Structure 1
Amino acid sequence: MKIYIRPQPFEAISFDLDDNLYDNRPIIIAAEKALQQFLHQHYSKATAWQFDDWRALKSRMLSRSPELRHDTCKARLQMLELGLIELGYDTETAKVGAKAGLENFVLHRSNFKVSAEVLELLAQLKQKYRLVGITNGNVDYQRIGLGELLEFVLHPGIGYPQKPAVDMFELAASKLALPLDKILHVGDSAKSDVDGARGAGCQAVWLNPGFGVAQKSLPKQQLPHIEISSIMQLRRLV
């Protein structure tokens, strides 16, 4: 644990989820694979496309509509619909297929449980602090075992942009009825989590490297209050 700025008293801890409380990469890979299998099984024309074709479509779509970066579910739904149309399906069929495809992806995207070690850590922290989640992803925190530990989890979309925008931090403070500086945010991204939290007026803990990552990163614009190399080092806050 490395302290850059002496933390002040805080009452709540907000957590980024992906790559912070678990390794998200193999989960996303498995969900993407399951989605492709679903499309190939139910929409035979989709066998003409592989991962790279969908990624290329997504890149083109986001370049035309960058606001979709702030709503991952909406972006994937639109990508699937556009892709099925390009593959030769009519608009109505593409809409139905896109919705079913998104449901399939979301199902597999949250098809895991946070480790018992991390759950135990959160349970210990919950005895002293209020715990919430602020994530740029779309995982279902109830399904992965966090429902009884986090008061709520905020996701981007519906007018709330992704971190490092301050909007979700401000919403969390409002829901907690706490000043922003009474929230300690923990995340693995120097930009999204550290710059975002500090820009909003929260205190920040940087997990560096992220969960399942070997190589450390460098700070972006602002230093965190604390840098840790393992999420388990948060035990020292109890």
Structure 2
Amino acid sequence: MNISVISFDGDMTLWDFLKVMRHSLQHALTELQKHVPTQRALQLTIDEMIYIRNQFADEVKGRIWNLEDIRKQAFEQTLEYVGYPDKELAAHLNTIYRKHRFGDIELYPDVIPTFDVLAPHFTLGLLSNGNTYPERCGLEDRFAFVVFSQDVQVEKPDPRIFEFTAQQAGCELSQMLHVGDSLVNDVAGAQNVGISAVWLNREGVANDTGIRPDYEISSLIEITTILGLERRK
């Protein structure tokens, strides 16, 4: 295996996005209910807020790429849903959400140890459909290249974002290894352009798809064994 570059997905690969997202929405929901103490607002749930946001994101897909803009407008729609349209309050809720969303991120415990082993041997990069930039999660100076779908307006599993990433990394597609938690976005997306793919399956879920990763791991540190770093010492 002639690998010189490793790209990593972000959400649910390097940090628990769902955990910090729900945690941040809870803070926003608590604030919303302070300002809008109506029955409908008091009955609002985090799952409903997620549904409203995702529905709006689907509606504007391909037209609005900035995820923070989408989140802010989703708060506006949430307030309309509870019968209290107020753009200033939506902006306030968005500020609270962002404070916790980017301030309370916790890396998985295997991230830094894995990077410490890989960094002397490989060029490392971040390839994400999200918006958690390295400086927002304590990973500044850890990546040689960073590619976010909202910046290039193409998202995984589109082949173009993988090809663009290889260009940014300065390597051939065959020299890249991509690591991520999504069989569709990460594994199939990478394999479709000739990049080897590692499926990070932290929860040990069954793969009932036709997608077959080149490697499957349950912890990032297992990459060091796949790449034979022990033999390099």
Q: TM-score if structure 1 supplies the norm length?
A: 0.79
Whose RCO is larger (CA < 8 A, sep 6+)?
Answer: 1
Question: For 1:80 and 1:57, how far apart are their aligned partners in 2?
Answer: 9
Per the alignment, residue 75 of structure 1 pairs with 70
Larger mean CA deviation between 67-76 and 22-31 belongs to: 67-76
Per the alignment, residue 5 of structure 1 pairs with none
2:187 counterpart (191, 194, 199): 194
- 1:17/1:135 contact within 8 Å kept: yes
Per the alignment, residue 94 of structure 2 pairs with 102
**2:225 maps to 1:233:** no
Amino acid at match of 1:201: G
SS of structure 1 residue aligned to 2:221: helix
Which residues in structure 2 correspond to 1:146-185 (within 5 Å)? 146-185=139-178
Per the alignment, residue 124 of structure 1 pairs with 117
Amino acid at match of 1:172: T
Tell me how far 1:164 sits from its aligned partner: 0.9
Question: For 1:135 and 1:155, how far apart are their aligned partners in 2?
Answer: 5
Tell me how far 1:179 sits from its aligned partner: 1.7
Which residues in structure 2 correspond to 1:9-158 (within 5 Å)? 9-42=2-35, 46-47=41-42, 49-58=44-53, 60-62=55-57, 64-67=59-62, 71-89=66-84, 93-94=86-87, 96-110=88-102, 111-115=104-108, 117-158=110-151
Cα RMSD (Å): 2.7
SS of structure 1 residue aligned to 2:136: coil
For residues 63-98 of structure 1, give each alpha carbon's deviation from its aligned partner in whole angstroms, at most 9, with x where no partner exists.
5434369653332222112233454556xx41x333
Unaligned runs of 5+ in 1: 1-7
For residues 88-124 of structure 1, give each alpha carbon's deviation from its aligned partner in whole angstroms, at most 9, with x where no partner exists.
556xx41x33333333223212313324542021011
- 1:18/1:137 contact within 8 Å kept: yes
Per the alignment, residue 215 of structure 1 pairs with 205
Per the alignment, residue 3 of structure 1 pairs with none
Tell me how far 1:36 sits from its aligned partner: 1.2
Runs of 4+ in 1 over 6 A off after TM superposition: none
Question: For 2:51 and 2:13, how far apart are their aligned partners in 1?
Answer: 28
Question: For 1:83 and 1:22, how far apart are their aligned partners in 2?
Answer: 27
Tell me how far 1:43 sits from its aligned partner: 5.2
User: For the structure 1 residues 58 and 28, does the alpha-carbon distance in structure 2 shift closer, same or farther, using more than 3 Å as the test?
Assistant: closer
Amino acid at match of 1:74: D
Tell me how far 1:195 sits from its aligned partner: 0.8
User: For the structure 1 residues 175 and 148, does the alpha-carbon distance in structure 2 shift closer, same or farther, using more than 3 Å as the test?
Assistant: same
- 2:9/2:127 contact within 8 Å kept: yes
Question: For 2:105 and 2:56, how far apart are their aligned partners in 1?
Answer: 30
Tell me how far 1:163 sits from its aligned partner: 1.1
Identity percentage over the alignment? 26
